[in-house]
Structure 1
Amino acid sequence: MHSAPDTELHGAKDISFALDDVEDIYLGIDACEFAGSDKIFVDEDGNIYTINDETMPRWGCSHDWQSGTASEHYKNGAGCTVKVYKAQRCSKCESITLGELINTITYTSCPH
């Protein structure tokens, strides 16, 4: 004979949180970082740079490439998708080169 499941949660802890206070685990950035742009670059030291689509590569630049990740934010109704790529950014002319897609994060409610 099976006993009825225990419906009381003995020793349970409240682990609820406000979504606005959560750091995006995959990107290592606060959710508000996409407020100024839907594209950002994060270098290996955690410095965050806005990617401006109008920035054109400077031909003749002796690029000084920094490794990191580039993230692109796309709205999907009430939610969003963030695609994260391996990337490099030139510290001189701000050109970005995207490498392989390393993660895709989908939110049902956009925190950005």
Structure 2
Amino acid sequence: MSIARKHPIANWLLLPPHEQRKALDKVLAFRDQSDDPMASGLPPAAVAWFWQEELPRLIQRPDVRRQAEEHLTELQYQGDELHQQINTRAGDLLERLDAIEAQVHQLQEAMG
């Protein structure tokens, strides 16, 4: 892909400019249909459209499937990293809690 632009909903997905513009126009149309003139961010209807219609259609193409697979791998890696961080921090906190509870128990015993 010589020139590519990020999809307006899934910034990990690179598309040819004409397809990106078509997707952006769709997102803007959903925005314009909103009843809330103060709404910000992506319209929920646009996000639903992407996951239910746009991506299933696009993912049939080998280039898009490859990008989705790469993104999935990256997300899985990030999830694994977060699990490790959570487990490490939780373990440290549990050790601190055990030490505090041991001191509480010792003080209670000493106080009778």
Normalised-by-shorter TM-score class: under 0.3
Give the strand-richer structure, 1 or 2: 1
**TM-score, with structure 2 as normaliser:** 0.22
Whose Rg is larger?
Answer: 2
Q: Return the structure number with greater helix share.
A: 2
Of structures 1 and 2, the one scoring higher in RCO (CA 8 A, sep 6+) is 1
